[in-house]
Amino acid sequence: MGASKADAFSVEQQDLASLSKALAHPARIAIIQYLMNVDSCICGDIVNELPLAQPTVSQHLKELKLAGIVKGNIEGNSICYCIDTDKIQALLGFIQSLVASKQANPNPCC
């Protein structure tokens, strides 16, 4: 045995975990930061920005797309990627409430 008891948890918990997993690699953080910097959608220059081969970058982009953090549009024979903030709002809300709950109720022992 040893994998995937994820179904034993709520959909919300699984969704938050999936969103976090999409951010859980430095390459994917780097892609997001790049898209934030150029603040207009840029295509496969992402490949040139990262110290990774093209198939690897494509795979990371696929994961970000699947998680709903990034969107892609066909533009001529290249593809224009940009940030999508719809899904990530849930994770933002979770972390905000985490920080807020701690400030409202500082624990007695820690």
Partner DNA sequence: TTTTGTTATTGCAATATTACGATAAATAAA
Partner DNA sequence: TTTATTTATCGTAATATTGCAATAACAAAA
Binding site for DNA (CB under 7 A): 1-6, 21, 24-25, 27, 43-44, 47, 52-56, 58-63, 72, 74, 76-79
Q: Which of 54, 59, 62, 73 binds a copy of itself (CB under 8 A)?
A: 73
Q: What type of residue is 20?
A: S
- Strand, coil or helix: 32: helix
What is the rounded distance in angstroms from the CA atom of residue 37 to the CA atom of residue 105? 37
Q: In DSSP terms, which residues pair with 71 in a beta bridge?
A: 82
* Shortest spacing between CB 50 and DNA, in angstroms: 8
Residue length of the chain: 110
Name the residue nearer to DNA (CB basis): 5 or 103: 5
Sign of the four-CA dihedral 40, 78, 54, 20: positive
28 makes contact with a copy of itself (CB under 8 A): yes
Q: Which is nearer to DNA, 54 or 96 (CB)?
A: 54
